[in-house]
Amino acid sequence: MQIDESRKLLLSDTLVPDIFITELMPALSGLAVKLYLYLLMTARNNRQVSEADLSRRMGTDLDTIKSANLELAQAGLLVIHDRSLEICDIKAAEIERTYRPRTSAPPTENGENSERFNKREQLMREIAKTFFQGLMAPSWYAEIENWSDRYHFEPEVIYALFQECGRRNKLNSKAYISRVAENWASRKIITHQDLSRYFMSYEKINKITSKVGRKLRKSMTDYDEEIVTRWVEQYGYDFDIIELALRKVVKLANPNLEFIDKIIQEWFSNQLKTAEQISGYEAQKAARLSGERGRSAASGGGISGSANGYSSTSRPRASVGNFDQRDYEANYFDSFYSDPDQSTDKSTDKSTDQPATQSADQSAAQSTEQPAIQSADQSAALPTRKLGGDV
C-alpha cells in the first residue's frame, strides 16, 4: 500500500539546514546556491528533474549547470551518479566530524578538565554573541578546541584573536585566522601578558616602519617590515640608532633598505648598542681608511717626481672612484704657453740679422725664375680646342 500526501506548492515549505547557511553558502557561487535550493525542493516533493530541465529553469546552458553540480559535489552537498544526483545529509556529516565516541576517563582527569571545559564553554558563548550575533557555525567550536589544545592558548588570547581578525574584517576566512594563530604561537604567545607585550612591540615596529618609509620616501612592503622587525626585536635598536644609518645614505641617489641593513648588521656584529659607541666606531673607521689611503698613495708605483711635472710632496693624492689623481706643480701648466716678450725679441732679432741688399746672383736667379713661372701660368691659361679639331 502506497501512501501519498497531498501537497500544494503554495502551502509547502522547503527546509534548509542552518549549517548550509553559516558554513557553506558564503563560499558558493550564486548559481550553485540557487541550484542547491531547487534540488532540495524537488527532492522533498519526489519529483524527477534532468540537467536539461535545470538548464531551462535556471536560464543558462548545460555546461554551466554541470559546473555548478561539480561545485556542489566538491563542497560535500551533492553526490553525482551516472543517472542521478544524491543530496548529502550535511547535518549527519557535521555530527560525525565534530563529535566522536569516547570511552570513560578516570575521575582524576574529569576533575582536572572540568574547570577548563567550563571556561571554554563560556568563551565560545562570548565569541558567538559578540562576533556572530549568537549564530556561530558548529565548525568554529572544533576550531577553537583545536587552537586551545594545539597552541595552549588561554581563553583571553583566543578572544583577542577574534577581536584582531574582526578589526581587519577577516572573520569570514578560517584560513586567515588560523595563520594569525600560528603566528602568535611561533612568537611564544600563550598568556594575556605575552599578548600585551606583543601588541606593544607590534605598535612600535609599525611606527618605526612608517618613519623609515617617510625618510626614504618609499612605500614599505611586507619584506621591508620584516627587516625593520629584525632591527627592533633581534638587534634591540630604537629609531635613534636606525636614523644614524639613514643619515649615512642621505647622499646616495637611490638609497635602499638593503644597504642600510648591511650598516646595521655591521654595528650589531661589533656589539654597538648606543649612539656614542656607534659615533666612536665610525670616527675610528674613517681615520683608519684615511691612513690606508695615505700609505697606499705614498708607496704606490707609477710616474712620480717633479722632473715629470708631478708634485713630489708627501701629502696623499686625491682619488675619484678607484683611480688616484695626479698632483701637478704650480709651473707645470706654464710650460704649455710661450712668453710673449721672448717671441717679440726673437722676431726683432730675425729682422735685424737679414741683409739690407741682395746679392747680384740672388737677384739674377729671381729674375730668371720669375718669367719661367709666368710662362707656365700663361700657357696653362691658353684656351684649348675640342678633340677632333685643328691644333
259 with 222, same domain? yes
Top-ranked range on mean pLDDT: pick from 106-120, 123-137, 245-259 = 123-137
CA distances from 153 to 149, 169, 324 (A): 8, 22, 65
The backbone torsions φ and ψ at residue 106, rounded to the nearest 5 degrees and listed phi first, read -65, 155
The answer to whether 185 and 193 are in contact (CB under 8 A) is no
pLDDT beyond 80 at 79: yes
pLDDT for the residue numbered 255:
77
The answer on 161 and 136 residing in a single domain is yes
Classify residue 372: in a domain, yes or no: no
User: Number of C-alpha atoms within 13 angstroms, CB side, residue 15?
Assistant: 6
Domain match, 78 and 23 both: yes
Determine, yes or no, domain membership for 204: yes
Lookup: cell for 105: 576517563
Same domain, 22 and 92: yes
| Residue 154 covered by a domain | yes
Tell me whether residue 211 is exposed, middle or buried, using C-beta atoms within 10 angstroms of its C-beta: 0 to 12, 13 to 18, 19 or more.
middle
Please tell me whether residues 155 and 212 are part of one structural domain.
Answer: no
Give me the mean pLDDT over the 22-51 stretch: 85
Cβ within 8 Å of residue 208, ≥6 positions away? 228, 231, 232, 238, 239, 242
**pLDDT-based confidence at 181, cuts 50/70/90?**
very high
137 and 206, same domain (yes or no): no
110 occurs within a structural domain = no
Is the same domain home to 127 and 163? yes
Give mean pLDDT, residues 326-343.
63
Q: Are 161 and 221 within one domain?
A: no
Query: 292 lies in a domain?
Result: no
pLDDT tens, position by position, 206-246: 899 999 998 888 888 888 888 998 999 888 899 999 999 99
User: Do residues 148 and 186 share a domain?
Assistant: yes
Residue showing cell 688616484: 324
CATH of the domain at 65: 1.10.10.10
Which one, of 314, 311, 310, lies nearest residue 294 by Cα?
314
Q: pLDDT grade, residue 372 (50/70/90)? A: very low
Of 257, 273, 289, which residue constitutes the final position of a domain? Answer: 273
Domain contains 78:
yes
Q: Which of 248, 273, 298 is the last residue of a domain?
A: 273
Greater pLDDT, 244 or 343: 244
Q: How many domains does the chain have?
A: 3
Would residue 254 count as lying in a domain? yes
What stretches of the chain show up as alpha helix (H) in DSSP?
18-19, 30-44, 51-58, 62-74, 90-98, 107-131, 138-151, 155-167, 174-186, 192-216, 222-229, 239-248, 257-269, 275-299, 340-353, 360-381
Of 207, 241, 273, which closes a domain? 273
Residue 76 has pLDDT above 70, yes or no: yes
| 66 and 135 in a common domain | no
Alpha-carbon distance 30 to 74, whole Å? Answer: 15
- Co-location of 37 and 76 in the same domain: yes
Of the candidates 193, 200, 196, 195, the one whose C-alpha atom is nearest the C-alpha of residue 185 is: 195
pTM for the predicted model, two decimal places: 0.46
Is residue 178 a part of any domain in this protein?
A: yes
Mean pLDDT over each residue of the chain, to the nearest integer: 76
Q: Which domain holds residue 252?
A: 199-273
Together in a domain, 89 and 126? no
In this prediction, residue 98 carries a pLDDT of 65
- Tell me: pLDDT of 123 over 80: yes
